[in-house]
Amino acid sequence: MGIPPDEARLDVSRHAARLFVERGVAATSGDDIAAAAKLSKRTVWRYFRNKESCVEPLFDATSLRFIALLRNWPRATSIEDWLQASLGDEERSQQDLADDVLAVRLLAMLPDEPDLRCAWLMSAQRAEDALRGIVAERLERSPKDVEVRLCAATVMAAIRVVDETISIAAVRDRQAFTIQDVIDRLARAIRVASTLPIGDPVIR
């Protein structure tokens, strides 16, 4: 039995990300990515529209993991308390940790790689779509509600800015961040960006 397509795409994504980090995007070809993944170039292009989009599954793996955490957010718990409880004690596999490091290093490249930013924004859009359902469920409103869509968009934008800011500072400026720093920044960003009262406990 072959590898499921999603897993195969993620495997290619990891190879592409490592090559981009080591060589830069311009110096990495589709042939290079295919060779690293031990696939034909034809197979790689069946999975992806261009070489930059090869890293989208890696971005998805990291951003959607955070969205999954929010999906389990209890209604009676504030955003600060939930991030503290879930991220503070989060157990991640070695692969998840490696994916996170690769994603951080890619995000640190964004100021110099506009095509890579396109892949990041495509992934952020998918995360925003998932977040819209979380906002709607938390407030018992329709995900089609314009106010719900606006809230999901602003919150996702805030999360994206925090991710980019921390990644660039960590890689380029060698600034150290603790998990508490990350929790505090994410909680504040979500709180400030929320156009609906999702940050507070929701009492029925």
Asked if 24 and 105 sit in the same domain, the reply is no
CATH of the domain at 14: 1.10.10.60
Is 100 within the bounds of a domain? yes
Is 204 within the bounds of a domain? no
Q: What is the Cα 161 distance to its own chain's centre?
A: 11
Rounded Cα gap, residues 87 and 119, in angstroms = 26
pTM of the predicted model as reported, rounded to 2 decimal places: 0.91
* Residue 182 CB-density burial (10 A; 0-12 exposed, 13-18 middle, 19+ buried): middle
- Which residue range is the domain that position 39 belongs to? 5-53
Ramachandran category for residue 104: left, alpha or beta (phi over 0 → left; psi -120 to 50 → alpha)? alpha
Is 198 within the bounds of a domain? no
Is 81 within the bounds of a domain? yes
pLDDT tens digits, 147-178: 999 999 999 999 999 999 999 999 999 999 99
Q: Give the chain's domain count.
A: 2
Choose among 45, 49, 41, 37: nearest CA to 7. 37
CATH of the domain at 148: 1.10.357.10
Q: How confident is the model at residue 3 (pLDDT cuts 50, 70, 90)?
A: low
Asked if 46 and 23 sit in the same domain, the reply is yes
Q: Quick check: 132 pLDDT over 80?
A: yes
Asked if 123 and 82 sit in the same domain, the reply is yes
Q: Quick check: 1 pLDDT over 50?
A: no
Asked if 68 and 45 sit in the same domain, the reply is no
